[in-house]
Structure 1
Amino acid sequence: MACSSPISHTVPDDIPVYVCVNCSTKLVLTDELVSRSFSGREGPAFLVASAINITLADPEDRTLQTGRHTVRDISCKTCGTVVGWRYDRAEDASQKLV
Structure 2
Amino acid sequence: MAKNKAKHFSPFPRFLLPSFPQRDVCPPRSSSPSPTDKYLDGHVSYLRCAECASHLCLTSQIISKGFTGRHGRAYLVSAEPVASAVSVCASSSPTATLPNTVLQHPVPRQLVTGAHTVSDVSCAFCGGVLGWKYVAAEEESQRYKVGKFILETKKITTSSCWESPGVIFPTKDEHRPVDINSNSAEPEFDSQDEDECEDLFAGIWSSGLASRRRSRKIERRPAIFGLA
Out of 90, 93, 96, the position equivalent to 2:140 is 93
Out of 62, 71, 89, the position equivalent to 1:42 is 71
1:66 correspondence with 2:113: yes
In the alignment, the residues of structure 2 paired with residue 55 and residue 72 of structure 1 have an alpha-carbon distance, to the nearest angstrom, of 10
Out of 11, 14, 29, the position equivalent to 2:58 is 29
Deviation at 1:15, TM superposition (A): 2.1
% identical aligned pairs: 42
SS of the residue aligned with 2:144?
coil
String of CA shifts for 1:50-76, please: whole Å, max 9, x gaps: 231110000000000001000000011
Deviation at 1:94, TM superposition (A): 1.5
In the alignment, the residues of structure 2 paired with residue 56 and residue 39 of structure 1 have an alpha-carbon distance, to the nearest angstrom, of 20
In the alignment, the residues of structure 2 paired with residue 66 and residue 32 of structure 1 have an alpha-carbon distance, to the nearest angstrom, of 22
- Whichever structure has more helix as a proportion of its residues is 2
- Greater mean alpha carbon deviation, residues 64-73 or residues 86-95: 86-95
Describe how 1:4-19 pairs up with structure 2 within 5 A.
Answer: 15-19=44-48
Runs of 4+ in 1 over 4 A off after TM superposition: none
Structure 2 unmatched ranges of 5 or more? 1-42, 80-97, 146-228
In the alignment, the residues of structure 2 paired with residue 34 and residue 77 of structure 1 have an alpha-carbon distance, to the nearest angstrom, of 23
Between 1 and 2, higher relative CO (CA 8 Å, sep ≥ 6) is seen in 1
TM-score normalised over the length of structure 2: 0.36
- Whichever structure has more strand as a proportion of its residues is 1
SS of the residue aligned with 1:96?
helix
In the alignment, the residues of structure 2 paired with residue 67 and residue 41 of structure 1 have an alpha-carbon distance, to the nearest angstrom, of 15
Root mean square deviation of aligned Cα: 1.5
Larger radius of gyration: 2
Deviation at 1:95, TM superposition (A): 1.4
